[in-house]
Amino acid sequence: MTKILVGGVGKAQVAEVLADLGIDGLEASLSSDMEAAMRLRAGQADYYLGTCHTGAGASLGVLLGVLGSGTCHTFGRSVPTQEEVAGLLADGKRVFGFGMDQLSDATPVIARAIAAHSR
């Protein structure tokens, strides 16, 4: 089971989108950013999706500070392609941030890429 923690101002909406996708093998749970950083560092979770109003930094601030830039990536207010996310996953990224206004479009793309990468 691949565990995805979701946080930030849109965490409930991201969790809902993930649940609605019904992707086998993905489990999402709500988290604060500090809890997520500690759980990821301890190996108790696999990925984190964070949202803020701009997607530029607040969505990942604590995780970036605790886990480092090598594991974090923000899409800002853009919607990534599955190929872009696949490349980031291959490079070791496990923490993704994006803007609230993109969550209904970005979340499915990121989730499907994570599911494909985890198989």
What is the average per-residue pLDDT within 2-18? 96
CA angle (25, 55, 81) in 5-degree steps: 55
What radius of gyration, in Å, describes the C-alpha atoms of the chain? 12
Question: 51-92: per-residue pLDDT in tens?
Answer: 998 776 667 889 999 999 999 999 988 999 999 999 999 999
Chain mean position to CA 12 = 13
CA angle (118, 101, 48) in 5-degree steps: 30
pLDDT of res. 58: 67
What is the average per-residue pLDDT within 10-24? 96
Question: 89-108: per-residue pLDDT in tens?
Answer: 999 999 999 999 999 999 99
Q: What H or E segment, with its residue span, contains residue 6?
A: strand 2-8
pLDDT of res. 86: 98
pLDDT of res. 92: 97
Structure tokens at 12: 């409930």
